Chain A
Amino acid sequence: MQIKPIIAALRHHKAGTLLIALQIALTLAIVCNALFIIHLRMAHMAQTSGVDEANLLVIQNGWVGKPAAGENASMLAADLATLRKVPGVVDVYATNAWPLAEGGTVYGIGHTPDKLALVTSTAVYFVDDHALATLGLKLVAGRNFHADEISATGPDHVAPAEVIVTRALAERMFPDGSALGKMVYVSAKPSVIVGVVERMQAPWVDNFAAKWADYATLVPYQLMDSAGANYMVRAVPGQRDDVVRAAPKALLAANPMRVINRDNGVQTYADIRADAYKSDRGMAILMSVISVMLLAITAAGIVGLTSFWVGQRRKQIGVRRALGATRGDILRYFLTENLLIGIGGVLIGIVMAVTVNLWVVTQFEMARLSLGYVIVGTAVLLVLGQCAVLAPALRASKVPPVEATRSV
């Protein structure tokens, strides 16, 4: 196949050639970045929380009026007892926060009591001795809290003698793997690591918490918050939905002076997960829709302009056919022409994709585009161009040689 005559012919269609190349370039620039964003968001959503999501539910309970300090503990104990009696409930504990809650408590953790020399931030979960069983957390070292280690505290009074940490945090604090039994400081007093659990995600999935998303510290406290209490409830597999209905009824029957919001007072982990990752899912969907529409419109543009060119060149095609060119030659001519324009387009497109990405990185705290996306995008656009040009090219190949003699 001779390329020179094709390039010579393209010179007569500068505008159309440039427009198709430009469109391919812009599409590549956007589709590469869109694919990359989709991948980032999907990877973000694929993180596991570490808890038994299928069977867990969270009840957010507000007290009416302020219970006195002594009263608070007995109300909490009564509620926990009530929940344990609900059919289908495996275990229960009261807490301040849970993975994906998008609200909770963060402390600095370090090797000394000096707050300015902390090693990292960590999510702090208030738990009792039932927490591991309720959440389905796996101990990889050490032990659970004993019942006599659990004490009552207000939200701003944390100085635990023992803590349980996640494996990720244990390795961050003691990279040599010797965390068990060591001292760490979340308060002015030392806390000894009595247990290490496999995994428990921090309550936040946003960017600001990305560096310590896997660092959680469990402290042996029952939270005395005069505003209310949150209960984590684990149901027998298959009975979660029954517990969702029965648990708030049982609580209200035991003590009606409470607020359990109708819309989000009782949440399953499916709801919590959907809420936490809503914008990730939305962005992935938006990017996919726009990418598909872009590719469709680019293909349509190629079909439109090539059809026009075929119509314009019917006579020339007829002449070539009369001079001995086969149908295959004509077909290949248009396919090659499109490939040349396509290559020109993707070359500009690669530069644009990288430029767009460099700018996006500065604007939106995102990682750099990896080369794979550019290669995939380039291949997709070149194949798309060949497919789009096929129909008009086939039509061109069917132009009979007799066309050369017409309308002269």
Chain B
Amino acid sequence: MLSYYLHLGLRSLRRNPVLTGLMVMAIGFGVAASMTTYSIFRAVSGNPIPDKSAQLFTPQVDGWGPQQNIKGEPPAALSYTDAMALQRAHKAKRLTLLYGMSMSVVPESSNSLPFAANGYAVTGDFFSMFEVPFLYGDGWDSGADDGRAATVVLSEEFNRKIFGGANSVGREVTLDGHGYRVVGVTRHWDPKPRFFALFNGSPFQQPTDFYLPFNRAVDMQVSPNGSSCRGHLNFSGWDDWMHSICVWVTPWVELDNATDVTSYQKFLEAYAADQQHAGRFAWAPNVRLRDVMQWLDFQQVVPPESRISLLLALGFFVICLVNTIGLLLAKFLRRASEIGVRRALGASRRQVYVQYLMEAGTVGLAGGVLGLLLTAAGVSGVGLLFTPEIARLAHLDLSLIALTLLVAVFATMAAAFYPAWRAAQVQPAWQLKSN
């Protein structure tokens, strides 16, 4: 019977083509606007490392004090001094220190021009903590960290660019005029948002090119992409700057369970208290230990444009549905006499109700198909609203296609609850009499 109703519904699409066309367009536009903005929102608000996001934490220690920090929060990165202290303490299962940087690369063939590449200075635990997949070779161990080795890990994309994708382990790359030996090449790895390096970096930037040992990068005086300072900046040189209260190092620790988290939090407080006693901090301990999702939330990674446009599109969709309720009511009640005949011939209210719900479902399906086409157009047009880094995150995949159709059909059927109920309430006797 349901398939018969479906058939009836498809046939009735051709009846009152203007009214039906209006409904299909309203649903199509509504669902397309919602799905296009949702595709962006889904990408920017996602969990970049779902299986470990609750075990990875970024410690913050306030080295600026209540008068100079921002709204009472410790700075979003550590000073070199504090970062080194956390590393030496060995209180976490794993710990990595990192900062973003840009370096020049001189290609091996002498006739091509030098170009700039982006990388991170990291410590050895980085690769295992963040589950970086390797194509060739591997990361480095703490021995290479301590030995301040001139090694480098390349990304798959960068390896393709300079070595044509060959296994480059053991070969040498020239960065800022100095040679580094390749020890590993990662597979394509580009978590979005780039949760681990939000300090002075866009969460949605292009995949990174290379990773250098932290200690080596510091030795080579490779400056970070950005730093934030307080007080008078009057440094006599790199060492003076490095040991100042300027913050530029992002620390991450891996903690397996709640007990470890509590004890690490205690350790941070104790560390800050020690600094207070030593006279380095003139304020009470002010520390934070946020996990990945808390950190993304705190750093407001989701651009406000994404939230506003999603909310606006949802509001738009609601109006389209209110519109659809009205039009369905008109479409159904126009056929009151027809319903009267069916009821008089023995159809129950329930059967009439189901029939008209199914008919609404077909309208929803038609709207969904239109919505799908418009979503495809919308997804390719989001470059208008968002920066290219974010716009390229939007894409029409199977799950989005399925969601578009489902939302269209179910929303329309929900909108049809009342009109279909009104249709089922038609009094057969009254209708027959008036005809």
B26 partner residues in chain A, CB cutoff 8 A: 297, 300-301
* A65 in contact (CB, < 8 A): yes
A227 partner residues in chain B, CB cutoff 8 A: 102, 223
Q: How many B residues touch A, CB cutoff 8 Å? A: 59
For the complex formed, measure the closest distance between the CB of A258 and the CB atoms of chain B, giving whole angstroms. 7
Give residues 302-324 of B contacting A (CB, 8 Å): 303-305, 307-309, 312-313, 315-316, 318-320, 322-323
Q: Tell me whether A293 and B232 are in contact (CB under 8 A).
A: no
* B327 in contact (CB, < 8 A): yes
Q: Tell me whether A30 and B334 are in contact (CB under 8 A).
A: no
Give residues 259-291 of A contacting B (CB, 8 Å): 259, 261, 278-279, 281-283, 285-287, 290
* A130 in contact (CB, < 8 A): no
* B142 in contact (CB, < 8 A): no
Give residues 140-183 of A contacting B (CB, 8 Å): 154, 156-159
Give residues 338-380 of A contacting B (CB, 8 Å): 360, 363-364
How distant is the Cα of A281 from the Cα of B327 in the complex, in angstroms? 35
Q: Tell me whether B305 and A23 are in contact (CB under 8 A).
A: no
* B329 in contact (CB, < 8 A): yes
Q: How many A residues touch B, CB cutoff 8 Å? A: 61
How distant is the Cα of A265 from the Cα of B155 in the complex, in angstroms? 23
Stretch at the interface among A46-54, A93-101, A304-312, A321-329: A304-312
Q: Tell me whether B316 and A294 are in contact (CB under 8 A).
A: yes
Stretch at the interface among A13-21, A72-80, A234-242: A13-21
For the complex formed, measure the closest distance between the CB of A319 and the CB atoms of chain B, giving whole angstroms. 15
For the complex formed, measure the closest distance between the CB of A226 and the CB atoms of chain B, giving whole angstroms. 8
For the complex formed, measure the closest distance between the CB of A326 and the CB atoms of chain B, giving whole angstroms. 27
Q: Tell me whether A64 and B114 are in contact (CB under 8 A).
A: yes
For the complex formed, measure the closest distance between the CB of B75 and the CB atoms of chain A, giving whole angstroms. 15
How distant is the Cα of A45 from the Cα of B129 in the complex, in angstroms? 43
A188 partner residues in chain B, CB cutoff 8 A: 232, 234
Name A's interface SS: helix
Question: 1/0 per position for B90-116, CB-CB distance to A under 8 A?
Answer: 000000000000101010000001111
* A314 in contact (CB, < 8 A): no
Indicate whether A34 sits within 8 Å of B330 (C-beta atoms), given known contacts A115-B232, A156-B241, A261-B115. Answer: no
For the complex formed, measure the closest distance between the CB of B301 and the CB atoms of chain A, giving whole angstroms. 15
Give residues 94-130 of A contacting B (CB, 8 Å): 113, 115-116
For the complex formed, measure the closest distance between the CB of B109 and the CB atoms of chain A, giving whole angstroms. 13
Q: Tell me whether A19 and B221 are in contact (CB under 8 A).
A: no
Q: Tell me whether A19 and B325 are in contact (CB under 8 A).
A: yes
How distant is the Cα of A370 from the Cα of B33 in the complex, in angstroms? 27
For the complex formed, measure the closest distance between the CB of A251 and the CB atoms of chain B, giving whole angstroms. 11
Indicate whether A301 sits within 8 Å of B232 (C-beta atoms), given known contacts A116-B67, A283-B385, A286-B312. Answer: no
* B13 in contact (CB, < 8 A): no
Question: A282's contact among B232, B305, B312, by CB below 8 Å, is which?
Answer: B305
Give residues 171-189 of B contacting A (CB, 8 Å): 176-178
Q: Which residue of B lies closest to A105 (CB)?
A: B233
* B19 in contact (CB, < 8 A): yes
* A313 in contact (CB, < 8 A): no
Q: Which residue of A lies closest to B330 (CB)?
A: A308
Question: A27's contact among B319, B325, B384, by CB below 8 Å, is which?
Answer: B319
* B387 in contact (CB, < 8 A): yes
B320 partner residues in chain A, CB cutoff 8 A: 297
How distant is the Cα of A300 from the Cα of B422 in the complex, in angstroms? 22
How distant is the Cα of A259 from the Cα of B176 in the complex, in angstroms? 11
For the complex formed, measure the closest distance between the CB of A393 and the CB atoms of chain B, giving whole angstroms. 16
How distant is the Cα of A308 from the Cα of B303 in the complex, in angstroms? 44
How distant is the Cα of A241 from the Cα of B309 in the complex, in angstroms? 37
Indicate whether A300 sits within 8 Å of B334 (C-beta atoms), given known contacts A261-B115, A279-B385, A286-B312. Answer: no
Q: Tell me whether A297 and B29 are in contact (CB under 8 A).
A: yes
Q: Which residue of B lies closest to A158 (CB)?
A: B233
Q: Tell me whether A159 and B326 are in contact (CB under 8 A).
A: no
Indicate whether A19 sits within 8 Å of B114 (C-beta atoms), given known contacts A64-B106, A115-B231, A294-B319. Answer: no
* B68 in contact (CB, < 8 A): yes
For the complex formed, measure the closest distance between the CB of B287 and the CB atoms of chain A, giving whole angstroms. 22
Q: Tell me whether B323 and A65 are in contact (CB under 8 A).
A: no
A300 partner residues in chain B, CB cutoff 8 A: 22, 25-26, 323
**Interface CB pairs A-B, < 8 A, 11:** A19-B322, A30-B315, A115-B232, A154-B235, A158-B233, A259-B113, A279-B385, A279-B387, A283-B305, A305-B326, A311-B334
If A22-B322, A301-B22, A304-B327 are given as contacts, then 4 extra A-B residue pairs at C-beta distance below 8 Å, sorted by A number, are A290-B33, A300-B25, A305-B327, A311-B334
Q: Which 5 A-B pairs have the closest CB atoms?
A: A65-B177, A282-B385, A308-B330, A301-B323, A19-B326
Could you tell me which A residues sit within 8 Å of B by CB distance? 15-16, 19-20, 22-23, 26-27, 29-30, 34, 37, 62-66, 113, 115-116, 154, 156-159, 187-188, 226-227, 252, 256-259, 261, 278-279, 281-283, 285-287, 290, 293-294, 297-298, 300-301, 303-305, 307-308, 311-312, 360, 363-364, 407
